[in-house]
Structure 1
Amino acid sequence: MTDTDKTARHNQRMKRHKSVVDEKIKQANQTKGLLLVITGNGKGKSSSGFGMVARALGHDMKVGVVQFIKGAFSTGEEKFFRRFPDEVDYHVVGDGFTWETQNLEQDIASAEKGWEICKAMLRNPELDIVLLDELNIVLKMKYLGAEKVLADIANRPPMQHVIITGRGAPEAVIEAADTVSRIDDVKHAFRAGIKAQKGIEL
């Protein structure tokens, strides 16, 4: 096969592919507020959520962020997004990882306090996106009831997007979501003895 033939076949494949993609784009004609869930045991769930927050800011959108669990230490994302107080309503409500607090009552109280903040955001039509970071863990540990949480999310303004991150997403959350991404743990530097580092995990 000559280079000319290869080029012609490639062009034909891409033309067919384009027609398929164009048809799918044409059929996707609805607009609504989405519930997105990012779960799994791999690294990158919060990173993905905050990536969407950054993208939203690029479109002059307003964002609410509630971080569960991670409150015992400062993160790069918190330091960065707090630079935009007019665009990002940022709250950290956790007391640290559950194996560090070792206090069930404290963890439940923190989760309930945090959810009151979430509910206010979910009632605010000025917020285009609400990121509920590590909420899946809170639900998995049953610090909050999934049924109540999903009911509050369902009653949000119709064009508001909600992003939920964290491993162990309950099946009810997955069923309610419009988009679900599961990040696999294929390989992680921590298992090679490399500690969490700024800009990567923190």
Structure 2
Amino acid sequence: MTNPATPDDTDRHNSKMAKKKAARDKIMATKTEEKGLVIVHTGKGKGKSSSAFGMIFRCIAHDMPCAVVQFIKGGMGTGERDLIVNNFSDLCEFHTMGEGFTWETQDKSRDIEMAQAAWAKAKELIRDPANRMVLLDEINIALRYDYLDVAEVISFLREEKPPMTHVVLTGRNAKDELIELADLATEMELLKHPFRSGVKAQAGVEF
């Protein structure tokens, strides 16, 4: 059983929190800039696309036009795609341009063709300043297999992305050059995964 806080404990806690708040407020007062961010989600852990879609749903909640281009994921339905297409297509364009993972398609030339088409659509959407966020889901996989030229992607993001547009790039094994360019880069670390215990992908968790 936890012992109740004494008046002295409460006073010390309140004083400590007041000092923390003052320090935090001082730091926050210096953060005044707004800009479109390049955001990279990578790593072996789960949550890369899920986190990115969380930001897309925030944009939708704020009535901010946005768009999604899926580079690898193919025809299988997903909850996020169904929800956006069926309810928020006026605010969020959704383009599934991939045909599945490489080991499923077993056609490298076709994979490259589809990745190039997805990148062309991505550039079109990013160039439109009305889109406040564009999610390039699993583009890191296409870059890893050299279906796209990372130098071209970086050059485009650096030189042609509108200043207030956020671009989110997800997928394992993000290129070092892309991480260097990013304003925000997060690596999801794998600690445990149910797949290793024989548990299959499940609706609501994986798709």
Normalising by structure 1, report the TM-score. 0.97
Give percent identity, aligned residues only: 45
Distance 1:4 1:191 in 2: 50
Distance 1:67 1:23 in 2: 41
Match of 1:150 in 2: 154
> 1:185 aligns to what SS in structure 2?
coil
Match of 2:168 in 1: 163
The one-letter amino acid paired with 1:80 is: L
**By how many angstroms is 1:72 displaced?**
3.5
The one-letter amino acid paired with 2:116 is: E
- The yes-or-no answer on 1:16 pairing with 2:19 is yes
CA-based RMSD of the aligned residues comes to 1.3
> 1:152 aligns to what SS in structure 2?
helix
Q: Is the 8 A contact 1:122 1:152 kept in 2?
A: no
- 1:50-199 to structure 2, matched below 5 A, reads 50-83=53-86, 84-154=88-158, 155-199=160-204
- 1:42-80 Cα shifts (integer Å, max 9, x gaps): 011000000000011111100110011111411111111
The one-letter amino acid paired with 1:108 is: I
The one-letter amino acid paired with 1:81 is: I
> 1:91 aligns to what SS in structure 2?
strand
- 1:99-121 Cα shifts (integer Å, max 9, x gaps): 21122111111100111100101
Unpaired segments ≥5 residues, structure 1: none
Distance 1:134 1:58 in 2: 24
Q: Is the 8 A contact 1:66 1:133 kept in 2?
A: yes
Distance 1:20 1:143 in 2: 47
- 1:80-112 Cα shifts (integer Å, max 9, x gaps): 111211101110011101221122111111100
Distance 2:54 2:7 in 1: 42
- The yes-or-no answer on 1:29 pairing with 2:32 is yes
- Runs of 4+ residues deviating >2 angstroms: none
Unpaired segments ≥5 residues, structure 2: none
**By how many angstroms is 1:134 displaced?**
0.6
Distance 1:34 1:95 in 2: 28
Distance 2:71 2:206 in 1: 16
Distance 2:43 2:118 in 1: 23
Q: Is the 8 A contact 1:111 1:143 kept in 2?
A: yes
**By how many angstroms is 1:190 displaced?**
0.8
Distance 1:145 1:9 in 2: 57
Distance 1:165 1:50 in 2: 10
Distance 1:199 1:18 in 2: 38
**By how many angstroms is 1:6 displaced?**
1.2
Normalising by structure 2, report the TM-score. 0.94
